[in-house]
């Protein structure tokens, strides 16, 4: 493994409820995939500012037998193409195909996907960011040792705030949506009251 230069900046982000509208019936085709307002602009902003974006997403629709792997791959491919067309880039995508009952090591809030990404790309996780709309995203970031966790209020974000409060877990920042989170990140550590 080659360790990324210290100057390389990484942002992990969830997909459903952060990048695109989530659905209680799951996203089973590209026709059901809808970018949230500002999400493409957010990823373009992060890319322009030198951040590498990695998607970390639970996709139990595979092992639930709701879609084939090829369909999920097609959704990821089209999503990535749209991000590129908008001026952004996605470095990598990690997904967990397992159901909650399979007790795998990769399904969030377990840290498996982030730890694997960290090894693959030589990431200093303590300097990375994680953006999610679910309590599991914030817990996953903590479990993996990600330096900064951001909860967005899109998707399940409002419910997640209550869950995290009950569990006495506090994200490092709460943002209205992905674009607001991207603006906060790109403002730099000095704007966050942290040393760079």
Catalytic residues: 14, 16
The structure tokens 């877990």 sit at: 169
CA–CA gap between residue 110 and residue 194 (Å, rounded): 27
Neighbours of 176 (CB within 10 A): 13
Task: Concatenate the DSSP letters of all residues of the chain into one string.
Answer: -PPPPTT-EEEEE-SBTTTB---TT---SGGG--BPTTHHHHHHHHHHTTEEEEEEEE-TTTTTTSS-HHHHHHHHHHHHHHHHHTT----EEEEE---GGG--SSSTTSSHHHHHHHHHHT--GGG-EEEESSHHHHHHHHHHT-SEEEEESSTTHHHHHHHHHHTT---SEEESSHHHHHHHHHT-GGGGT---
CA–CA distance, 88 with 40 (Å, rounded to integer) = 7
């Amino acid at each position: 493994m080659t360790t990324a230069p210290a100057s390389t900046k990484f942002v992990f982000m969830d997909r459903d409820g952060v990048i695109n509208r989530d659905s209680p019936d799951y996203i089973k085709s590209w026709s059901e995939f809808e970018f949230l307002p500002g999400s493409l602009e957010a990823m373009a902003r992060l890319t322009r500012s030198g951040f590498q974006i990695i998607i970390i997403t639970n996709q139990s629709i595979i092992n639930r037998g709701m879609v084939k792997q090829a369909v999920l791959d097609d959704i990821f491919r089209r999503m990535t193409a749209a991000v590129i067309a908008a001026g952004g880039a996605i470095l990598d995508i990690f997904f967990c195909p397992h159901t909650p009952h399979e007790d795998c090591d990769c399904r969030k809030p377990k840290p498996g996907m982030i730890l694997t990404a960290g090894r693959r790309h030589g990431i200093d996780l303590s300097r990375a960011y994680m953006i999610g709309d679910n309590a599991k995203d914030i817990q996953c970031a903590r479990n993996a040792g990600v330096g900064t966790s951001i909860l967005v209020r899109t998707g399940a974000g409002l419910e997640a705030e209550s869950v995290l409060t009950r569990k006495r877990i506090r994200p490092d920042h709460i943002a209205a949506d992905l674009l607001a989170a991207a603006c906060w990140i790109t403002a730099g550590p000095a704007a966050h009251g942290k040393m760079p």
